[in-house]
């Protein structure tokens, strides 16, 4: 089998779906040939020579994209899709909520696996690309906030006087939010955090953060807040209004706010209203990690740092790509672990276990058809 690793071509995408480390493992059985597009790992600091040393051949884009098994970070563009071979297997962040893109992969005759739809079961944890990349984004959000913030994060006692620790609010405590809490804590900030899912309170407190509670008015609200499969569901407008009121008051005291709230397949919930931004302290910084899904913060702009009443709002997308080397290393291992369901590293035998729940959940197109999901 020919395994292809093309260079990512979407704007700002620096990651690569296989590293020399994982290429070596794909090549180990001697049964498969690996082709890597020239420069595929360059922006992630993996030179072509390292891929060659690991057993790959360096090729052009068309050769990498027309392999039997194509490993991608992002779903192929229209141009890339045109180069895929009918009958090939395509693995990556295929953006399964983009029906037109999935339709185009189906039309190209490929069998597509969207890694965003990995089920949140313990067996799939080592393959979970959303987690590995969100972890990086949560870390980098804090570093970006520290960069934009005109004061220290930790409390300092100096001969020239005392400097107060920064107060940081984290909204949305999934994988990114937890890492943001841990990173801000290491920098010495005082942390508050909030999420719609009540199960997160203990995790926040165990990391040394204070839980910002938004009470539930009734059992129905509480049940919706539990979410499904580890993901949040949209909350009723009454709860959102209650949350906005509490957030408004707490934000007045905050130096840094990091928002990470997402609901799969929907626009990001708006958690910080324009009037809340207007009520914040000048010099405060907000980092909106949900910017690609429309943002959690009113006034945030994609690809920009905007200043409103002295408050900086950072809307830089795809923060994982700003740590391209580690992001690629973790992503590539996620892909390797996903492929281990089908590819026996020692013997090189390849067979997709079609009845495996991980395969069923991630399969988005096959035999020219889009695979419908419940
Ligand atoms: P996510 O990126 O989908 O969302 C980020 C956070 O935003 C979530 O915690 C969500 O509850 C929160 N949110 C949504 N609407 C909100 C609102 N209105 N106000 C405040 N917060 C809001 O989530 P994620 O990071 O992918 O992780 C979700 C959960 O799944 C986590 O608890 C994580 O530990 C768990 N998880 C489990 C596995 C596994 O068992 N295999 C793998 C990965 C993640």
pLDDT tens readout for residues 295-318: 999 999 999 999 999 999 999 999
Report the pLDDT value the prediction gives residue 264, as an integer from 0 to 100: 87
Determine the residue of 115, 170, 171, 175 to mutate for testing ligand 1's pocket, defined as the one with the most ligand atoms within 8 A of the Cβ atom: 175
Measure 356 CA to ligand 1 centroid, in angstroms. Answer: 24
Measured CA to CA, the distance from residue 208 to residue 192 in angstroms comes to 9
* Bridge partners, residue 4, by sequence: 35, 70
Phi and psi for 243 in degrees, rounded to 5? -60, -45
pLDDT reported for residue 231: 83
CB of residue 180 inside a 6 A radius of ligand 1: no
116 lines ligand 1 (CB under 6 A): no
- Ligand 1 near 131 CB (within 6 A): yes
Q: List 325's β-bridge partners, or say none.
A: none
pLDDT of residue 374: 66
Q: CA–CA distance from 1 to each of 62, 88, 238, 262 (Å)?
A: 17, 10, 55, 38
Written as six digits, the tokens of 218 are 């009734």
The residues of the chain scoring below 50 in pLDDT are none
Residue closest to 39 by CA, chosen among 64, 2, 22: 64
Task: Output the pTM of the full model.
Answer: 0.95
Residue 139 confidence (pLDDT):
98
Distance 191 CA to ligand 1 centre (A): 19
- List residues with catalytic annotation: 120, 125, 128, 131, 231
Q: How far apart are CA 302 and CA 282, in angstroms?
A: 22
| CA nearest ligand 1 atom 31, residue | 174
Taking the centre of ligand 1 as the mean of its atom positions, its distance from the CA of residue 157, in whole angstroms, is: 37
Rounded distance from Cα 238 to ligand 1 centre (Å) = 21
DSSP labels, 283-352: T-EEEETTGGGT-SBTT--TT-EEEETTEEEE----GGGGGHHHHHHHHHHHHHHHHTTTB-TTT--B--
Please say whether the beta carbons of 289 and 268 come within 8 A.
no
Distance, CA of 161 to CA of 246 (rounded, Å): 33
pLDDT the model gives residue 228 = 85
Ligand 1 atom 30, closest CA: 230
Closest-CA residue to 43 (of 10, 65, 67): 10
Closest CA to 214 of 184, 185, 237, 246: 246
pLDDT at residue 348, as a whole number? 87
Is there an atom of ligand 1 within 6 Å of 233 CB? no
């Amino acid at each position: 089998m020919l395994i292809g690793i093309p260079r990512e071509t979407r704007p700002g995408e620096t990651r690569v779906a296989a590293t020399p480390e994982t290429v070596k493992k794909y090549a180990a059985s001697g049964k498969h040939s690996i082709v890597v597009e020239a420069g595929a790992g360059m922006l992630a600091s993996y030179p072509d020579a390292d891929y060659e040393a690991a057993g790959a051949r360096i090729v052009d884009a068309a050769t990498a994209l027309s392999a039997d098994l194509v490993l991608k970070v992002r779903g192929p563009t229209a141009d890339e899709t045109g180069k895929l071979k009918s009958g090939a297997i395509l693995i990556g962040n295929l953006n399964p909520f983009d029906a037109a893109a999935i339709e185009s992969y189906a039309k190209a005759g490929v069998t597509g696996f969207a890694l965003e739809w990995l089920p949140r079961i313990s067996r799939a944890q080592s393959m979970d690309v959303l987690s590995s990349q969100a972890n990086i984004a949560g870390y980098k959000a804090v570093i970006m906030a520290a960069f934009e913030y005109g004061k220290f994060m930790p409390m300092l006692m100096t001969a020239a006087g005392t400097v107060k620790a920064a107060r940081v609010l984290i909204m949305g405590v999934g994988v990114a939010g937890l890492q943001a809490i841990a990173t801000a804590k290491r920098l010495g900030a005082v942390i508050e955090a909030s999420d719609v899912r009540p199960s997160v309170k203990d995790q926040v407190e165990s990391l040394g953060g204070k839980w910002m509670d938004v009470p539930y008015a009734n059992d129905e609200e509480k049940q919706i807040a539990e979410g499904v499969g580890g993901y949040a569901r949209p909350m009723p407008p009454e709860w959102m209004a209650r949350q906005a009121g509490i957030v408004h008051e707490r934000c007045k005291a905050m130096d840094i706010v990091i928002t990470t709230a997402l609901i799969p397949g929907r626009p990001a919930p708006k958690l910080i209203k324009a009037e809340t931004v207007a009520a914040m302290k000048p010099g405060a910084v907000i980092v909106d990690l949900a910017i690609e899904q429309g943002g959690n913060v009113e006034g945030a702009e994609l690809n920009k740092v905007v200043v409103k009443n002295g408050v900086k709002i950072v809307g830089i997308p795809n923060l994982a790509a700003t740590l391209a080397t580690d992001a690629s290393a973790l992503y590539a291992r996620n892909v390797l672990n996903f492929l281990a369901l089908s590819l026996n590293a020692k013997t090189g035998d390849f067979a997709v276990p079609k009845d495996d729940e991980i395969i069923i959940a991630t399969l988005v197109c096959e035999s020219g058809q889009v695979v419908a999901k419940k």
